[in-house]
Structure 1
Amino acid sequence: MKISKINVYQVDLPLKEGRYSWSNGNFVEVFDSTVVEIITDDGLIGVAECCPLGSAYLPSFALGVRAGLAELVPHLIGQDPLNIGHINRLMDAALRGHPYAKAPIDIACWDLLGKATGLPVFTLLGGAAQDDVVLYRAISQEAPERMAKKIELYAAQGYTKFQLKVGGDANEDIERIHATRSVLKPTDILVADANTGWTRHEAARVVGAIASLDVYVEQPCLTYEECVSIRRRTTLPFIMDEVIDTPNTLVRGIAEDAMDVINLKISKVGGLTKAKLMRDLCVQHGIPMTIEDTWGGDITTAAIAHLARSTPSEFTFSATDFNSYGTVDIAEGAPQRVNGRMTAADRPGLGVTPIYDALGAPVASYS
């Protein structure tokens, strides 16, 4: 089997709520997603999706995905997509860094491997470790009372884990955390996610002011070292996200007891191949994960579901159903939320079929 053609699509994903806001005044109203289609000489097609969270979140942006693909794809035509290790080595040799641009190629190759073998991707990633996975709901940054009302709304839809977007004014963030925790059941999970938005002194104030609450603190500051400083000042459970972006940073975090949980974003680390490596390291060292991505639609949600379903439940802190946030369907057969949970399909590959009317014509084709 050889790669004969790669098509690249661009699709806008508007939000049902109109806007998604997080730290430092950042927001997105319409997500710019890239869908990749790998076509082989024997007719099999693999698909994947990459959707950065704007351009001010991680060192990634929507146009960068497509620019990176333009650099990578000439090295991939004629290659065997089932030799995924070789594909990744080719990409790393052709383009230093930019893992998010490589991620959709890697994921589409896993989709092809599943279709070629007749197996779902979760089987290839280690086998089904759970029937379905628990989801979290991200609560966009707003006034404390509005965030509390949204938590009540989503709790009624079956969610039991909530990621509160803080990282703004420290005084208001303290109010946000208290207001939202007060409307939750004792068994519900609340994560105060600052998305790197606090300075060290602000983070120190916040963790002191919420010390009596049942709440997780996530990525309070910009750098790894600042976050570790805050971890040492609080007994609250601690989550690392943005700074755990490679297997090497994960190994450092484990060795230095820097966190209790990580957020494992598939495109941030370069695709399912490296995400599986990091997942397995976490399982070996007893570190639960939120398995997710930066953003996306139906195809991203499918990739998340397969990685999560192949992860033992005790190490799956939560996962994300990004396709429930948007107004546009881009694939049939994608996972759907049922009472706060979702599962990956038993069909070969990712188990999804692109809706080409939604994708439109390719913005680039390579052969």
Structure 2
Amino acid sequence: MKIVRIFAHRVELPLVEGSYKWSGGKSVSVFDSTIVGVETACGLTGYGEVCPLGPFYLPAYAEGVRAGLRELAPHVLGCNPRELGVLNRRMDAALKGHPYVKSGIDIACWDLLGKVTGLPVCELMGGRFGESVRLYRAISQLPPDEMARNVAEYRQQGYTRFQLKVGGDPDQDIARIRATREILSPNERLVADANTGWTQHEAMRVVRAVRDLDVYIEQPCETYEECLAIRRRTDHPFVLDENIDSLQMLLRAKSDLAMDVVNLKISKLGGLTKTRQARDLCVSMGIAMTLEDSWGGDITTAAIAHLAHSTPEELRFTSTDFNSYVTVSTAKGAPQRQHGFMQAGRAPGLGISPREEVLGERVVDVS
């Protein structure tokens, strides 16, 4: 079995809420997603998706995905997509860094492996733990009362995990956290996610001001060292995200006791293969995880669902259904939210079928 063609489509994904806002005044209204196809000599095609959260979040941007695919694709033609270890070593040798570029190819090859074996990806990644995956809802940064109203609305849809976008003015953020925590019950979880937006002294002010509340603090500052300093001065449960971009950083953070939960994003780490490695390491070390990606639509949501559903429930803090945030469906068969939960599909591979009428013309085509 050999790869004979790699292609990609560019798809715009407008947001249901109109815009998504987070720390530092950053916002996005339409996501620029790349749907990646990996075609084999036997006629099977696997699909992946890469959708950076704009060019100002992580070291990744949408056009970079397509440019990187044009550079990388010739080096993986002829590879066996079932040999995921060999494939990833080939990609790393051909293109230094840029893990997000490799992610779409790797996800597509997992889709192919599932189709060849007749098994869903979650079974190939360790098995299906539990009946469903608990979801969180990201709450776009707005004035405190508006954010609280949004939380109340999403509670009605079955969500019990909320990721509050803070990282702005500390006084406003303190009010945001208090307003939203007030309407939640004790068994519901609130995460104050600053997305690196606070300076160290601002983060210290916030965690001291909300010391009496049941809230998780996520990625308060830009650097690992700053986050560690805040971690050591608060008794809130602590989440790291942006700083954990490799197994080396994951091991360092474990050694420093720098977190209680880690956010593993598929494209940040380079695909399902490497995220699975990080996931399994977390399982062995007893670290809880949020399993997700930077953003995306139906195909990304399917990949997240299979990764999350194959993770032991006691270490699966939460996950997300990105396809419910956008107005465009790019594939049939993707997981759909049901009362704050989703399930990985039972069809072979990712269990999705792209909507050709939505994908449009290919913007990358290498054979």
Query: What TM-score do the two structures reach when normalised by structure 1?
Result: 0.99
- DSSP-derived class of the 1:363 partner: strand
One-letter amino acid matched to 1:352: I
User: How far apart, in 1, do the equivalents of 2:78 and 2:266 lie?
Assistant: 26
How do 1:337-356 and structure 2 match up within 5 A?
337-356=337-356
User: How far apart, in 1, do the equivalents of 2:95 and 2:332 lie?
Assistant: 33
Residue 75 of structure 1 corresponds to: 75
User: How far apart, in 1, do the equivalents of 2:70 and 2:365 lie?
Assistant: 9
One-letter amino acid matched to 1:289: M
User: How far apart, in 2, do the equivalents of 1:32 and 1:253 lie?
Assistant: 32
Deviations 1:34-77 (A, max 9, x none): 00011100011100000000011000110111111111001011
Residue 226 of structure 1 corresponds to: 226
Q: Which stretch of structure 1 is more off in the superposition, 200-209 or 1-10?
A: 1-10
- Identity across aligned pairs (percent)? 61
How do 1:131-210 and structure 2 match up within 5 A?
131-210=131-210
Contact conserved, 2:134 with 2:341, CA < 8 A, in 1? yes
Offset of 1:247 from its aligned partner? 0.8
Residue 40 of structure 1 corresponds to: 40
Residue 283 of structure 1 corresponds to: 283
Deviations 1:150-176 (A, max 9, x none): 000000000000000000001100000
User: How far apart, in 2, do the equivalents of 1:130 and 1:359 lie?
Assistant: 33
Uncovered stretches (5+) of structure 2, i.e. residues with no partner? none
Residue 357 of structure 2 corresponds to: 357
Residue 7 of structure 2 corresponds to: 7
One-letter amino acid matched to 1:99: P
Is the counterpart of residue 17 in structure 1 residue 51 in structure 2?
A: no
User: How far apart, in 2, do the equivalents of 1:311 and 1:32 lie?
Assistant: 29
Offset of 1:361 from its aligned partner? 1.0
Deviations 1:231-263 (A, max 9, x none): 001000000000001111001111110000000
Runs of 4+ in 1 over 4 A off after TM superposition: none
User: How far apart, in 2, do the equivalents of 1:159 and 1:62 lie?
Assistant: 30
User: How far apart, in 2, do the equivalents of 1:66 and 1:18 lie?
Assistant: 26
- DSSP-derived class of the 2:365 partner: strand
One-letter amino acid matched to 1:269: L
User: How far apart, in 1, do the equivalents of 2:32 and 2:102 lie?
Assistant: 17
Offset of 1:281 from its aligned partner? 0.7
Offset of 1:313 from its aligned partner? 0.7
How do 1:231-246 and structure 2 match up within 5 A?
231-246=231-246
Deviations 1:190-214 (A, max 9, x none): 0000000000000000000000000
Uncovered stretches (5+) of structure 1, i.e. residues with no partner? none
- DSSP-derived class of the 1:55 partner: coil
Offset of 1:224 from its aligned partner? 0.4
Contact conserved, 2:36 with 2:105, CA < 8 A, in 1? yes
Residue 215 of structure 1 corresponds to: 215
Deviations 1:89-114 (A, max 9, x none): 11101111000000001110110000
Deviations 1:103-134 (A, max 9, x none): 00111011000001001000110111222100
Query: What TM-score do the two structures reach when normalised by structure 2?
Result: 0.99
One-letter amino acid matched to 1:6: I
User: How far apart, in 1, do the equivalents of 2:5 and 2:274 lie?
Assistant: 24
Offset of 1:274 from its aligned partner? 0.6
Contact conserved, 2:140 with 2:147, CA < 8 A, in 1? yes
Is the counterpart of residue 253 in structure 1 residue 253 in structure 2?
A: yes
One-letter amino acid matched to 1:283: V
One-letter amino acid matched to 1:238: F
Contact conserved, 2:69 with 2:364, CA < 8 A, in 1? no
- DSSP-derived class of the 1:300 partner: helix
Contact conserved, 1:130 with 1:311, CA < 8 A, in 2? no
- DSSP-derived class of the 1:35 partner: strand
Residue 128 of structure 1 corresponds to: 128
Alignment length (residue pairs): 367
Contact conserved, 1:33 with 1:50, CA < 8 A, in 2? yes
Contact conserved, 1:20 with 1:29, CA < 8 A, in 2? yes
- DSSP-derived class of the 1:308 partner: helix
- DSSP-derived class of the 1:245 partner: coil
One-letter amino acid matched to 1:102: K
